[in-house]
Structure 1
Amino acid sequence: MRKLFVDELKRLHVRFSEMGINVNEQIYNATTAFINHDKVVAKEVITNDNNTDSEEMNLEKQALELIALQQPVATDFRVIISILKASSDLERIGDHAVGIARETILEKGEERVPEVEKEIALMTNKIREMLGGVLDAYSETDADKAGEVAKDDIIVDQLYLEIREKIIQALKQNPKVAKASSSYLLVIKLLERIGDHIVNIAEWIVYSSDGKIVELNPGKSDPKLLREIVSGTIGER
C-alpha cells in the first residue's frame, strides 16, 4: 500500500513540474507576442490557457483522490497540500500570461516606445529565470534554493518601478504614445504579480520541506527594504 502511495505521489510531482514548464513557456510566448505585435501567437497563448486550466483540475483531482484513498500521514499530507497550493499559483501565472496576450490583440498600431519594450523583455527574462529556479527547487525539495529564488523578487519590483518611470517620461515627451503606455503599464504590473506568485510557490516549497510557514517576499518581510525600493535607493541591480 505504501509503495502505491509513493508511486502516485511521484506522478503528482511530475504533473506539477510539467505544468510549471508549460506556464513558463506561456509567459515567454505572451511577452514575445506583445513586443513583436504578433497577434497570431497571442491568440495561441489564450487558446493554450485551456490546457493550463485542465492541468490544474486534473492535478487537483489526483491529489484529492490520493488523500481520500491512501490516507497519508501528516508529512505526506503536508506535501500534497503544498502541491495543490503551488499549482493554484501556477494557474494564476498562466492567467496573467493570457492578460498580456489580450493586450497584444487589442493593439491598433499606435506609436510605440522601443526602449520601454526592451526593458519589458529584460523584466520577462528575470521572471522566467525565477520560475525556472523555483521549479528546480521544487524538483529537488530544496528549501534553501527556493529562498534564494524568492530574494530575486526585489529585482523584479525595482525593474517595475524603473520601467514605470520610463513610461511616464515617454508619455510626457510624446502624448501620442498614450495608448501604448497604458498597455505597457498593465503588462509590467502583470509581470510584477507573476513575481509575487513565484515567491508564493517558494514559500510552499519551504512548507513542504520543513513544515514552516514563512514570508519570503523581501519587500513584505522587511519594511525598510520596501521603502528603499519605492524610493529607488536600493542600489545597483
Structure 2
Amino acid sequence: MDKLHLDKHISQQFDSELEDLKSQVLEMGGMVEQQIIDAVESLESADSKLAEKVMRIEDEIDLREVALDEACMTVLACRQPAASDLRMVLTVTKMTRDLERMGDEAQKIAKMAISLTQDGAAPGGYEEVRHMGTQVQNMVHSVLDAFARFDVEKALNVAKADKQVDREYKSAMREIVTYMMEDPRSIGRVMNILWALRSLERIGDHTRNLAEHIIFLVKGLDVRHVTVSEIERKIQKSQ
C-alpha cells in the first residue's frame, strides 16, 4: 500500500504547519460528513429543527474554507514548499473547495426537508434517498480516512464507488418520474425528493474529486477527467 511521508524539515515549525493543515481539513471534513448525515435524516424524518441545524452549520464550513485558504497562502509565501510539501498545500486548497461545495449540497437537502414538512410528505422516493444517502455517507467517511492515512488504494475504491452512486441516481430518477405520472398533484412534493437525490449525486461527484486529490498528493499523478480504469492503470505504472 502506497503511503506519503512528508519530509522532515530543519524548521519544526514548518512540520507543525503542514500537520495543522491536514488536521484542519479532517476537522472540516468531519463537519461536512455529519452535515450530510443530518440532512438526509431531516428529510427522512421530516425534522425541520435538524434541517435548520444543517443550514446553520454551513456558515461555519464557509468560514473554515476561508481560514484554510489563508493558511495555505501563508505557507506558500513564507515556506516556498517543493515536491510532496507543495502537493500537500495544493491538495488542501482543492479539498477545502470540494468540501465547501458538499456542504452547500447538504444545505440544499435540508431546504428540501423543510419544504416537505410544510407542504406534506411526498408519495415516495424516501427509500431511494435513504439508500443513496448511505452510499454517499460511506464514500465521504472512506475518503477522509484515505486522506488521514495517505492511502491511495482506499482513495481509488472511493472513485470506483462513485460509479455505483451514478447508477443508483439514474434508477431513482425513473422511480421518481413514475410517482409524478401516477399522481400529478404530488409533482411539487416529489420534485423536492428529486432535488435531494440530485444533491446526493453531486456530493458523490465531489467525493470522487477528493479521492483524485489524494492520489495526486501521494503519487504526483493528475487523474482528473479520466475513467476509473485509466486511473488504476496510471497508479500501476507508477509503482
Shorter-normalised TM-score: what interval?
Answer: 0.7 to 0.9
> Using the alignment, how far apart are the partners of 2:133 and 2:149 within structure 1?
24
Among candidates 178, 183, 196, match of residue 174 of structure 1: 183
> Using the alignment, how far apart are the partners of 1:59 and 1:175 within structure 2?
47
In the alignment, structure 1 residue 113 sits paired with structure 2 residue 123: yes
> Using the alignment, how far apart are the partners of 1:99 and 1:152 within structure 2?
23
Gaps of 5+ in 1: 223-237
- 1:29-178 mapped onto 2 (5 Å cutoff): 29-107=38-116, 108-114=118-124, 116-178=125-187
Give a deviation string over 1:16-50, Cα, whole Å, max 9, x none: 00100110000011111112111111111111111
SS of aligned partner of 2:222: coil
Structure 1 residue 130 displacement after superposition:
0.3
**One-letter amino acid of the counterpart of residue 87, structure 1:** T
Gaps of 5+ in 2: 1-9, 232-239
Regions of 4+ moved over 3 Å? 215-222
**One-letter amino acid of the counterpart of residue 22, structure 1:** M
- Matching residue of 1:10: 19
Which protein has greater RCO, CA pairs closer than 8 Å, 6+ apart? 2
**One-letter amino acid of the counterpart of residue 46, structure 1:** M
Does structure 1 retain, via aligned residues, the 8 Å contact 2:166–2:201?
A: yes
Aligned-residue RMSD, C-alpha: 1.8
Does structure 1 retain, via aligned residues, the 8 Å contact 2:112–2:193?
A: no
Larger CA deviation: 99-108 vs 37-46: 99-108
Compute the TM-score of the two structures, normalised by the length of structure 1: 0.88
Structure 1 residue 217 displacement after superposition:
6.5
> Using the alignment, how far apart are the partners of 2:224 and 2:77 within structure 1?
30
Does structure 2 retain, via aligned residues, the 8 Å contact 1:111–1:176?
A: no
Does structure 2 retain, via aligned residues, the 8 Å contact 1:42–1:104?
A: yes
Structure 1 residue 185 displacement after superposition:
1.1
> Using the alignment, how far apart are the partners of 1:100 and 1:145 within structure 2?
27
Compute the TM-score of the two structures, normalised by the length of structure 2: 0.87
Among candidates 25, 29, 33, match of residue 24 of structure 1: 33
